[in-house]
Chains A and B, each alone.
Chain A
């Protein structure tokens, strides 16, 4: 770092405010007032760069305060813009941590591939470099990743969606500007990005309901202790309560220890006529039970990303979630916000509905019944299905 002894002695006081009184103080002015450090030291110190000693940082900050220095957002915007034209020599690096054994395994999961692609394109837009780090079996342990990031001076981190088996991440959070994607089971109050699962369940319910299905059931999977399906249930229960046909079907949650015939007995016992589920592979199972889709049982997937079999259901915007995560982490970087926030907060990205072959207008009789009950519901459906707010059923 800079040695003050090697410098010419700082000028006496008049040099502190050589500019007109109303001019904006610059880093050079601060450098001079802070005892003749280099302006780049000022820049680093104001960004809490770990390479600057605490004493120097304090001295620089005191000088900045004294001069009333404020970062210039216009220059910041200009820099962002300029970087689109000029290649940056050493762009800041964002680490994207993914919970996969291999890169090809990640690419095979359509959700995670989309998250990663979205994150990459946002990083490019913001002139940051993004690097994928895999943790998990045969890959890095979180501890090892932590020390690699430290050694390379990488301070921004996106925790890509973690699988339920990963419950603990040993990072020195105070060193990082970090956000996480989904992973509600990770009990770390990081700023979180997620697709809007509550909206997904509501949208799927409403779509099926408006097609004439009346005994809708929610079927989700979770491994022990995870909270992954909570928001699906929150949305589903809300719509179920809203629909006039009381005698609600209780949601069914499958765990690894569930008996194989539990789905069939749930369908029969509750006379379920449509299923909203977080898996895609339900239709073949229903066929094996002798239930015809969509005539006898309708089906909507809560995440139909990557499906090629024309399943009806929700398409979350995973790429947007990944992009938003990078945008947020860059935002944190710019204001040097590191460590865990005192309070958790979460940003949800809206989802949309995709038509498919696994649900259909029930029948003329069903439809008439529906129209009698809710004369405007069909138009309303068209208008509202993909909008943010759902009109409550009367």
Chain B
């Protein structure tokens, strides 16, 4: 059996009297890739910062292998901190050259300059920035900076690499590189990788295990079409869920206020024309993405926000759907699951 590199027990973190993280039991196995998914504000970054010993939990325990590391001072955990590292969501480069930035972790570990040099060269190779050694950090694009930060983390050969939203604010070209690097880390460096993302398909593409956070809690299944918004009540006593782009879904709910919902992509019916039915939700959208999965087809449809719809291959071909096709999405208020 694989060893557990991190164990989390009954962890709680409170900000301004609000519980932002509440995790009973969470294990990370050595050498695996983990994706932590969830919408903004679900506690992903807080969990990462706590595991990285940058923040302290209010309750609970964290173990690194079998050693408890909760509430230890930075000097007590130095040895462990030197085995793990974090690539931040909003990466920071020191005001010097790319080379000096990457060398920092090696310098403070007193690694001999010769070894430093060769390790920095190979780290730059891995992220595809071989010629960037002498560039000044402030002359890099956002995507290049993100890759330098990853090289700076790789060069110290960590046992665990944490990446907080590594692909959120960079363009596709860099996203591909970063995803390739994550796969490479597992194969070649054999480090454990734990990254956060709000892109579910990325999580499944890269990770051995996907952990889903919602409102600070771990939820069993990762729902598609997870949305954050507000439940409002209108004069007719009907409840609506209002989310980004002023889109309103009819829902069945007792409460009002901020909430998360999800819509099962199998519960959404596609049609070329709007039809009369008992279903209260009907939207016109445009097909933005088509992904074939065995006997099913996953479609991303833009109705102002992207919604995922899953239909069978048979229906897909029968309806003759294409990228850009305009279709109606219909689903019942009771298909909207409330959290």
* A, B bound: no
Q: Which residues of A contact B (CB under 8 A)?
A: none
| B residues lining the A interface (CB < 8 Å) | none
